[in-house]
Chain A
């Protein structure tokens, strides 16, 4: 079971890095789906190990929302508009991966040596994966050139927080978890609508064109 945790945690970081470092929408979407699948599986396995109905239900909800609903809506809306958006990034993929490795290294050293034992009672590798992916997702948000790049950044940060909640052993009422997932879905929808309008009005969806409001 521990080996499976290790594989899935490493897989999660790998897919998060892949989402952050790509320039293409299709690759980013596939990587996001794979990262979300890994997250859902991690929750399901933990639920199975601890015989927790709560975690099993949460794992299923995660898979439904993040692997099925969000990507399906994304595909559907883009097929309606016939537009294939570009992600774009201010940093080259190699540089993004390099910075991601530094983040992972930094988080690992910090948690192992300065965690004060707080995180060691839980699965350390999942905690490292969670904190590192918060950093990687933030990196992707900062470097994103287009509104869709920022959208993926926020979705990835939300995923990272779900992993962090799992790693810390925080359990909420299932309905609160459900609301959290609904918030992610609605946030995606609102950002998608806004991105669409931005593209319609500005002609492009690059963030650098949004510069009319300044002091």
Chain B
């Protein structure tokens, strides 16, 4: 079973990183090899899950391997591998600038692998409490990565991150416990399986439950896990953490962590929809949080002076779009999954580019950056293409996902869809304005501006991401692609057999 490797590899590499902090060359090599093996493991795991007739397999009470989890695992594997490759150069540059030392670099790799492990366990957990522990572990594994620079702002961001996310997740835990209360009805019969996702996938009959308690539980879950997703108004940690974290870690937080938390919330939505026999009640919440996130984040992009925070608000906006998509029936759900995949490829690309810009200009302030296209032609060109992809320009897969979401939305929720459309236009303006402000020529000539930028491993990774993005668009339009996404949705929707 390939899943074993997804647990063993991060554990071994993390152990070595913490145990041998002085052997930094070895740690760097083993991290690169480990990340490649990890990605190969996710491919093997996905193939293994899709080989089952109903695309799911559970090892009770521990794991539930379904197509949705396998698909997300694949995304985690890809983003993690690219982030580790970019980290290699990023950390060497940091050391050259005197911002880092060998022990911190070793701990960086150790925590990064633990973070990947936490993500995999969150996606594969069958027991809701185990899922919660894994999600909270992801916060713990990344807190010191957010504080990596050791500067005032990064320490502040890390503190806000751990306090707000942990508190939010505790609200989510209360939601899980009330979910239990709603279904157990005060009795202790069959309580053991109520908190297992697999319990709800093949029920003979709909169990008796308290509707009000179930609804309160869902609201708490939306608020609690929504904190981790970065949904407005419980998003406060996100711009700070993304803005102050090393670029490869920002990429993982944005590309993977937010999406994984959203998938957890969606799993609860499917179960509650099934129990209520109707999805309209939960859809209202998803539409509300989705539209609010898109609009607020779009407006905030207009006033950002820091390009990493700009990208962070863009992440909130995209999580809002995906959340909105999940409220629009099966076709909307497929579009939302496509959107998550596209965002997970593109946003890391932009964060990797932001890391290159930071090391060249030594600032994250848009106003202090001039002549980006002249000084960093390769980075800025890939950054621009990535940005256009993020703004849903064809052939980006986000064009397809947003087109489907907006088309579906006009049929079932016209006004919210119009608001999302307005938000998308505002965010596009905000993001492009940020890029073109950085590209403006300076009034005085800087000696660095005339230097030629060399191809680096980061550029190669970014180009690979662009190729994957376009390939994903093509794959989504094929019959096989559509079948795969249908299988993913079918594997997690509540069934009464």
Contact = CB atoms under 8 A, between A and B. Distances in A.
Contact of B143 (A116, A165, A171, A190): A190
B444 interface: no
Interface in A162-206: 164-165, 168-173, 176, 179-180, 183, 186-187, 190-191, 193-194, 197-198, 201-202
A2 interface: no
A210 B300 CA distance: 22
Interface in B128-187: 129-130, 133, 136-137, 140, 143-144, 147, 150-153, 155-160, 162-163, 166-167, 170, 173-174, 177, 180-181, 184-187
B186 A120 contact: yes
A165 B185 CA distance: 15
B493 to A, nearest CB: 26
Among A164, A173, A213, the most chain B Cβ lie within 10 Å of the Cβ of A213
B166 A212 contact: no
A61 B185 CA distance: 29
B125 to A, nearest CB: 10
B240 interface: yes
B285 interface: no
Contact of A147 (B159, B177, B181, B192): B159
A173 B61 contact: yes
A191 B127 CA distance: 27
Contacts of A62: none
B187 to A, nearest CB: 7
Contact of B160 (A172, A186, A213, A215): A213
B7 to A, nearest CB: 14
B453 interface: no
Given A194-B144, A197-B150, A210 B187 contact: no
Given A158-B170, A215-B303, A210 B156 contact: yes
A117 B212 CA distance: 13
Residue among B147, B157, B160 with the most chain A CB within 10 A? B147
B318 to A, nearest CB: 20
B140 A187 contact: yes
A5 interface: no
A194 B156 CA distance: 9
A197 B152 CA distance: 9
Given A165-B177, A190-B143, A190-B144, A202 B152 contact: yes
A134 B156 CA distance: 26
Given A190-B162, A197-B150, A215 B300 contact: yes
Of residues A119, A122, A187, A211, which shows the largest number of chain B Cβ atoms within 10 Å of its Cβ? A187
Contact of A161 (B133, B150, B159, B170): B170
Contacts of B166: 154, 187
Contacts of B61: 173
- The interface size bin for chain B is 35 or more
A86 to B, nearest CB: 16
A194 B162 contact: yes
A172 B159 contact: no
Contact of A168 (B137, B160, B180): B180
B152 A116 contact: no
Contacts of B144: 190, 193-194
Contacts of A180: 129, 133
B18 to A, nearest CB: 13
Contact of B187 (A121, A213, A215): A121
Interface string B50-64: 000000000001000
Contacts of A212: 152-153, 156
A161 B173 contact: yes
B138 to A, nearest CB: 11
Interface in A105-147: 116-122, 134, 138, 141, 147
Nearest to B161: A194
Nearest to B300: A215
Contacts of B243: 213
Interface residues of A, number: 43
B213 interface: yes
Contact of B210 (A116, A158, A201): A116
B188 interface: yes
A157 B167 contact: yes
B160 A210 contact: yes
A4 B140 CA distance: 37
A7 B439 CA distance: 69
Contacts of A169: 184, 188, 191
B429 to A, nearest CB: 18
A9 interface: no
Contacts of A176: 127, 129-130, 133
A37 interface: no
B195 interface: yes
A59 B300 CA distance: 49
Interface in B242-271: 243-244
A213 B192 CA distance: 44
A201 B152 contact: yes
A183 B186 contact: no
Contacts of B195: 170, 172
Interface in B93-140: 127, 129-130, 133, 136-137, 140
B133 A134 contact: no
Given A170-B177, A197-B147, A213-B243, A121 B186 contact: yes
A100 interface: no
A122 B186 contact: yes
Contacts of A201: 150-152, 155
Nearest to B130: A176
6 contacts: A147-B159, A171-B192, A183-B140, A186-B137, A186-B140, A215-B300
Given A141-B167, A168-B180, 5 more contacts: A118-B181, A154-B166, A176-B129, A190-B140, A194-B159
